[in-house]
Amino acid sequence: MIRYSLKCDKGHTFDSWFKSGEAFEKLKASNMVACAVCGSDDVAKTLMAPSVSTDKERPLSAPHSPAEQALAELRKEVESKSEYVGTRFAKEARAMHDGNAPIRSIYGEAKAEEAKALIEEGVPVIPLPFGPKKTQN
């Protein structure tokens, strides 16, 4: 196993373990290397020298700082328990609040003024401290 320190286009740094240098290059070439914090596949090796380990128990990707770790966990929690509604967020949240849609956990994107309007209407929304999931096309 070889460890690389990686950095995504949003500036998150994290460690990832790969079978070999070639394995990293191959995964990178097919956009299979994703940021451990935000999921962006626009990652690059940082200048830090890679280190090698035979420890197979290590996670494949680990964020660097406790804050990034907490963010990554929150993101995982939100994404596994909530339905992603994208830019329909404000509409869906309002429909649930008005009883026009089944109550469930949702997350998505809302413009600042949409979020403000929801809060003023008493719709319970909270801002998430990370960007939207990369949409697959």
Q: Which residues bind Zn ion (CB under 5 A)?
A: 8, 10, 12, 35, 37-38, 40
- Cβ-in-10-Å burial (0-12, 13-18, 19+) of 69 comes to middle
Q: Which is nearer to Zn ion, 8 or 106 (CB)?
A: 8
- Cβ-in-10-Å burial (0-12, 13-18, 19+) of 47 comes to exposed
Q: Which is nearer to Zn ion, 35 or 106 (CB)?
A: 35
Q: Which is nearer to Zn ion, 10 or 88 (CB)?
A: 10
Radius of gyration of the chain measured on its C-alpha atoms: 19
Find the shortest distance in angstroms from Cβ 74 to Zn ion: 14
Find the shortest distance in angstroms from Cβ 11 to Zn ion: 7
